[in-house]
Structure 1
Amino acid sequence: MNKFYLVLVLLAAVAVLAAPAAAEVTLGGSVGGSTATISVTSSPSGAEVYDAGTYQGTTPCNIIVHTTATPIDHDIVVSKNGYYDYHHYIGDVYTDQYITVNAVLTPVVLTGYLDISSSPSGANVYVDGIYKGTSPLVASVDAGSHSIRMEKPGYDTWYGTYRVSSGDTAQVYASLGPSVTYGYINVHSTPSGANVYVDGTYRDNTPEVISVTAGTSHEVQVVYSGYEVYQQTVTVSTGSTVYLDANLVTSSDAYLKIASSPSGAAVYVDGNYCGNTGYSSGSSMNYMSIGPLTAGTHAVMLKLDGYNTYTSTVTLSPNEIRTMSVTLTQSAPTPSGNAGLHMASTPSGAEVYVDNAFRGYTPVYLSDISEGRHTVLLKHTGYNDWTEYVVFTAGQTVEKDVTMSPASVPPAPTQSPFPVLAFAGLAAAAVFAVRRMY
């Protein structure tokens, strides 16, 4: 073969081998060697990944984007049976970008309903231990088995278990029987005016006769500021009366006396529930006594539906009795039949999604959340996504304050130098062959 034709063959071979490194055909026109990477993971993994409607594989997977091709919007969809689809819109990407998409998938929750009534009506209804309101009512629940409890003063507590199918309504009816098994505890103290608690619940001040369920043991505590707590366990027979005379002993412990306006607020000290504030008039404050407490700093919190939560810290000295009068401020009203969500985050400015619908940036207050279970999602650049199922009750506001965790950034992938080196070697061989011709 003549040398000239040999050179042509070598140059043709160089062009064929170099073609994949220089360009490849894709929808939209010529493609260069510049790329970006979209790395998609999911929890749980094994979900199908689509980019602009085109299947890309299952998580975890990387999508290689040729950035010199005709640009397209990258709408990433992560799909898995039993879960809601996860959508993440990216738009244009640029050369050498490494974009991470972490899809936290939300299970599809199937729901049914409990239509609950009682005779007499007006009983307090608890489903799986959660208060739902007074009978009659209809409660939305997850498909499956649920425990139901109904309580009404003067009647025996009613218990039941019902199974609900998705989309169906189970009828629940309770015939409450009147309670007749009561006894009495007659409590006196020295000094008088002490708070009396029975089984952890405040009942009244001494001297007082208190009705209790007969036939079971009851824990009685007599509490008075500056005195040791008097404690006694008693069992009362039906229709009988047990007499307790508490001779209180002075103490070096500290106490808090708290009243609120409006009254009825739940009081927590150091995270422990202490009871609810009693009714107070403008001229006569009704202080509830909390203690004994150790000398030092304590966290105080008051909560009441429809009002902003009150928090404070107090530092108590030995034998100190600290009096607090708290005026609660009314929170933003929640529309009838809906619940509220007060969402805050550290750092602030996180995107808030409820059931995958964007609702604003933290801190945010939403007052139109429908009753039931919803998925709340927070997204913030540079931080891991945060998500949680939250159960909302009509007329109540859920408060969430989330500390987001920083996201780790994986190193950008490096490209293999082989295609460039191979092209250079073949080009050198062609030049060498030309030189030998002459």
Structure 2
Amino acid sequence: MTGHKGKNTPGLRMQYVLMLSVLMLAAAFQAAAAVDTSQYSMELMWEFQPDSDGITCADISPDTTKIAAAGGSYVYMLGRDGGIIWEKNTDERINDIATAIDGRYTVFVTQNGYVYRFNNEGTRVFMKAISGSTLIATAITEDGKTEFAGADFFPVYMLDADGNLVWKQGFSGVLKGMAASDSGDVVAAINGDGSLFAYYKTGSPRWSKSHNYKTTCVDVSANGAVIAVGLDNGDVIRYDADSGEEIFRDNLPFVPSSVSLSERGADMAVSGENSATVYYYSVDFRNFEPITVKTGSFVKSVKLSKSANNMAVVSTAGKLSYYYRYSPNFVQPTASVTPVPKVSVQANVLEIESEPKGAQVLIDNKIVGITPLTLTDVAEGQHTLLIRLQGYQDWERQFSLGGGSNVKIAAELIPLQQDEFPWIPVIIGIIAVIAVVAYIIWRRNRVDYNYLF
């Protein structure tokens, strides 16, 4: 008597084992990573809307200490608390503005084809006509030594610190947008026909792309690694600036009208035509899930800081709104760990510092700025001060203000305890893989005695 022996396919069986093993390990590591997933939100710090013409464009300095804004013929230099440092009337309609580190130089372009450069005191360095047509876009290097300007018809210009023309590069179609990296080594421009052009600092072409849809907006990451472009089908594509290869593609529920990248291009803010929503994408969100910021009116443009912790939003109503990114999942220290002493002092000037710097400051649950910060408009009486920074414990104190003296509060922030690596799900996954492999090996090597008779 003989039994029927089935077909033995060890190669296929081992493929199943390998596939199952990989899936189990991936699930284990995903479970481990999911234990500590950060969540963020954008909170409004302040808003600025001048009595004259409303704001139409804005830029954040690379170190986030200054915010340059323009509206109508007026240009404003603001501090990180939203206060005006200086303002000027140019008697020309301003179309775009950019500022260098710490606001040392600010450039803007006008409807009549002029390029302006101002220093950090608001003094004009030069004013030059470089185009017979309207200038619609500008950019400046981090050190302020080089600037770029784009005209609606024909070229992109590069100027030195004295306003001398270094090169100009033309292309077919009408310029729709232009951007440059902090070093100026990567320059990108788009026309209204769906084309994207990338250039070196020398003006020579890097590469170009043609799309089946019209291009609507463009930006370059500060480090020059990524170029982002928006299309009128709702796509926003991020390209590798060196190779021109597509890195990532997002599809939005509106036509993107403004896009802004963080320093490395991993974080991205996008606004859309006839939309009051800004979509903010971050690598801190699993699968690049965005958070949204509702502005209350249609958004004209958006600008993200290099660190991605700050965002300037200009609305069609002429208002500049400044946001700060923070994590709501901070661990609130208990009174036994962080006591809350009451400081009774008489003061009308309040200075707040933190170590490290750049922490968010709230007084009576209202965001008032980021450290270091000096306030002169805090009302007399009892107040609650809260200082928070991603990765650190919240720092909270009670204080009271009177009048006649200056008060300085310094906060030494304590890092959060980092969770240990969650070995349990990883170990379980490894054990499961070993068990599956052992079972398959046993199945392959065992003797079925039914086949012997």
* Bucket of the pairwise TM-score, normalised by the shorter protein: under 0.3
- Larger strand proportion, structure 1 or 2? 1
Which protein is bigger by CA-based radius of gyration? 1
| TM-score of the aligned structures, taking structure 2 as reference length | 0.26
Higher relative contact order at CA 8 Å, sep ≥6: structure 1 or structure 2? 2
